[in-house]
Amino acid sequence: MSASTQVWNVPNQITMTRLVLSVVVCVLIPCGQYLAAMIVFIIAAGTDAVDGYLARRWQQVTQLGRVLDPLVDKVIISGAFILLAEAMRDMPVGIRGWMAVIVVVRELVVTALRSLIEQRGGDFSAKMSGKLKMVFQCVAVVAALVLLMVVDRELPAWLNQTLWWTMLVSAWLAVLSTVQSGVGYVLAAIRILRT
């Protein structure tokens, strides 16, 4: 197997596809195409588990994949949060600008720490808290897109309340899990650097 084939293996191709889909999501949200954005986002988020699973199963973990996979996650989540904060600015409940800032700062800090640790030969792989954080963030993005789709429609009171509460709870779970996992990564990095 050539070096090129090893680098551009199926898991990495899936990751690159997710990057393209991430850009599509970031184009659709400002255009008000919330249903299309939600469908593309769900497809993109779904491939996140697939590429990592295949890379491990087929023993095709590459340095490119280790860098590209978390980078693409940051692009789609940070981009979605920033654009949704703008789209929901006049709504009583939703993703806010400060939430997007927390998400982006956390991702930048973890990326910097991962680079530092791995340059020194340490392992700074994703932890369960980081994976759970990603799940909560994805739920918040989908909830926001659903709410944007139906905000001007007449809905039964119970459904309307359910959607608003889902948005509120998922947004706060996303923020709290982002902070919690970020702190966990910082503490782990400190321990690794000390040893």
Q: What is the CATH number of the domain that holds 167?
A: 1.20.120
Residue 163 predicted with pLDDT over 80: yes
Lowest average pLDDT, out of 27-31, 50-54, 181-185, goes to: 50-54
Structure confidence at residue 1 (pLDDT): 45
Count of the separate structural domains present in the chain: 1
- What's the pLDDT band for 123 if we cut at 50, 70, 90? low
Q: Which domain range does residue 101 map to? A: 3-194
Mean pLDDT in residue range 61-89: 88
Percent of the chain with pLDDT over 70: 93
Lowest average pLDDT, out of 61-70, 72-81, 150-159, goes to: 61-70
Please say whether the beta carbons of 144 and 94 come within 8 A. Answer: yes
Whole-number average pLDDT of the chain: 87
Structure confidence at residue 2 (pLDDT): 46
Structure confidence at residue 78 (pLDDT): 95
pLDDT digits (tens, 9 = 90+) for 31-69: 999 999 999 999 999 888 787 777 778 777 777 777 788
